[in-house]
C-alpha cells in the first residue's frame, strides 16, 4: 500500500487574529503546520502576545512553534529599506520580505511544501495586489506563498493547482473591514486573541520620530530601540541625548536597567524625574543642560534652582523654559523632524519605485526567455 507524504507548511505566526484564522484554515485541510514567530523589537502593549500565549495559540492549531529573534539584518533594513517606509518608520514590504526569506530557509531545512501568511488584500496600505506580488517575487517564494484569507481573489499557488490544498475551502477576504474575520473567529470557537489592528510601534508617530533620530545619528541598536519606549527624549545641539522619566515606573527603569549606559541625574531634595544623559563625550555644557531639563520637570516653584546629583558631583540648576527645550524635543510635532520625515519618505519612495521597476523589468525579461524556450 502506497502512503502519501503528509503536506507540511510554514505559517508566519504573529498571534494576530489574521494569522490564527489563516492557520486554522490550513490546519483543517490536514496540513502539518510549523508556526514561525519573529520576536521583533517593536511590540505594542496589549496587542503583542506573550510567549506563553503564543504557545497556547499554536497548540490550539495543532502546530509546532518556532520563535526567531531579529538579527542585525533587520536593523539594516530599518536603516535603509529597499521599498521605503509606508507609515511612520514602518518598512512593511521589507519587513515581510525579511521574514519570508527566513521562512524559505526553514522550508528547505524541514522539507516543507509551502509558506502561508495571514495577509488580507487591501487591509493595509502595503497589502495591495502590486505589493503582494512584489513580496512573493523578491522573497523567492513564487508559487509557494499562500494567503488563505484572500486566496480566491489572488492567483492560485502551486499547492492549490496541484490539489494539495483545496482552493474552494479558502476565502476571498479583502479590504479594511474585519467584520468577516470576527465572525469566522466565533465560528471557529476562538476564545481570546489580540485586538485587531497594527501591532508595530513603528507606525506610532512619536516612536517613529525617535527611531528616525537614532538612524540619523547612527545610534540604532536593539538597546537603543528598547530605550525609545521610555521617557521624554531630547537631542541637544552637541549630539548628546537626554531621556527624562515621566513617572515612578520609568524612573526606576532608567535607573536600574539603563543607569550604567550613560550619566544619571536626579534631584536631591525635591520630587522629580530620573534623567539619563547619553553621549560619546560628556561635556560640562551637556551636563548643565541636562540638569536644567531635569529641574524643569521637578515639583518645585518656577524658576527656582534645584540641587541635582549627577554621577559623583552635585550641581545647582535653574529650570529651562519650555520654549527653550522645544527645538531639542524628539517628537512627531517637531517641525525639524516633520521635515526629515517628509524628506526621508520621498527619498525612500523614489528608491522603492526604482527597485520595483528593476524587479518588473527582470520579470518581463524572464517571461520572454520562457516563451523563447518553449
For the chain, list residues with pLDDT below 50: 1-3, 335-361, 363, 366-374
Whether residues 92 and 155 fall in one domain: yes
Whether residues 216 and 139 fall in one domain: no
Give the CATH number of the domain where residue 167 resides. Answer: 3.40.50.620
Instruction: List residues bridging with 308 in a β-sheet.
Output: 267, 315
pLDDT of residue 198: 59
Yes or no: say if 13 and 54 are a contact pair by the CB < 8 Å rule: yes
The number of helices, as runs of H, and strands, as runs of E, in the chain is: 13, 11
Question: Does residue 152 belong to any structural domain of this protein?
Answer: yes
pLDDT digits (tens, 9 = 90+) for 300-310: 877 789 999 99
**Residue that finishes a domain, picked among 173, 199, 225:** 199
Give this prediction's pTM: 0.85
Report the number of distinct structural domains present in the chain.
2
Residue 215 CB coordination number (10 Å):
18
Whether residues 281 and 185 fall in one domain: no
Yes or no: say if 99 and 77 are a contact pair by the CB < 8 Å rule: no
pLDDT digits (tens, 9 = 90+) for 37-78: 999 998 877 778 889 999 999 999 999 999 999 999 999 999
Whether residues 303 and 223 fall in one domain: yes
Question: Does residue 363 belong to any structural domain of this protein?
Answer: no
Residue 95 CB coordination number (10 Å):
24
Amino acid at each position: 500500500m502506497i502512503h502519501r507524504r503528509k503536506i507540511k507548511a510554514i505559517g508566519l505566526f504573529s498571534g494576530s487574529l489574521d494569522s490564527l484564522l489563516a492557520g486554522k484554515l490550513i490546519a483543517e485541510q490536514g496540513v502539518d503546520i510549523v508556526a514561525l514567530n519573529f520576536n521583533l523589537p517593536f511590540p505594542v502593549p496589549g496587542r503583542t502576545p506573550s510567549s506563553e500565549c503564543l504557545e497556547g495559540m499554536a497548540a490550539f492549531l495543532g502546530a509546532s512553534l518556532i520563535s526567531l529573534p531579529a538579527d542585525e539584518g533587520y536593523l539594516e533594513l530599518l536603516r535603509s529599506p529597499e521599498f521605503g517606509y509606508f507609515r511612520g518608520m514602518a518598512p512593511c514590504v521589507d519587513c515581510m520580505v525579511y521574514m519570508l526569506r527566513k521562512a524559505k530557509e526553514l522550508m528547505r531545512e524541514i522539507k516543507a511544501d509551502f509558506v502561508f501568511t495571514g495577509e488580507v488584500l487591501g487591509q493595509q496600505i502595503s497589502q495591495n495586489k502590486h505589493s503582494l506580488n512584489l513580496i512573493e517575487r523578491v522573497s523567492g517564494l513564487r508559487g509557494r506563498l499562500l494567503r488563505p484569507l484572500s486566496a480566491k481573489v489572488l492567483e492560485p499557488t502551486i499547492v492549490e493547482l496541484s490539489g494539495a490544498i483545496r482552493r474552494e475551502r479558502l476565502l476571498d477576504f479583502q479590504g479594511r473591514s474585519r467584520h468577516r474575520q470576527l465572525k469566522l473567529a466565533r465560528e471557529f470557537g476562538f476564545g481570546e486573541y489580540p485586538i485587531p489592528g497594527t501591532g508595530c510601534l513603528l507606525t506610532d508617530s512619536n516612536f517613529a520620530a525617535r527611531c528616525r533620530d537614532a538612524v540619523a545619528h547612527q545610534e540604532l541598536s536593539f538597546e537603543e530601540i528598547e530605550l525609545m519606549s521610555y521617557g521624554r527624549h531630547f537631542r541637544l545641539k552637541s549630539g548628546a541625548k537626554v531621556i527624562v522619566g515621566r513617572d515612578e515606573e520609568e524612573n526606576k527603569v532608567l535607573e536600574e536597567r539603563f543607569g550604567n549606559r550613560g550619566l544619571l541625574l536626579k534631584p536631591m531634595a525635591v520630587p522629580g524625574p530620573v534623567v539619563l544623559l547619553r553621549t560619546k563625550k560628556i561635556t560640562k555644557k551637556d551636563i548643565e543642560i541636562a540638569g536644567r531639563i531635569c529641574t524643569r520637570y521637578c515639583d518645585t516653584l518656577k524658576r527656582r534652582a534645584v540641587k541635582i546629583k549627577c554621577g559623583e558631583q552635585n550641581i545647582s540648576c535653574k529650570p529651562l523654559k519650555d520654549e527653550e527645550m522645544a527645538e531639542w524635543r524628539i517628537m512627531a510635532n517637531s517641525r525639524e523632524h516633520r521635515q526629515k520625515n517628509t524628506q526621508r519618505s520621498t527619498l525612500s519612495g523614489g528608491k522603492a519605485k526604482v527597485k520595483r521597476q528593476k524587479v518588473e523589468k527582470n520579470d518581463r525579461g524572464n517571461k520572454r526567455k520562457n516563451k523563447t524556450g518553449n
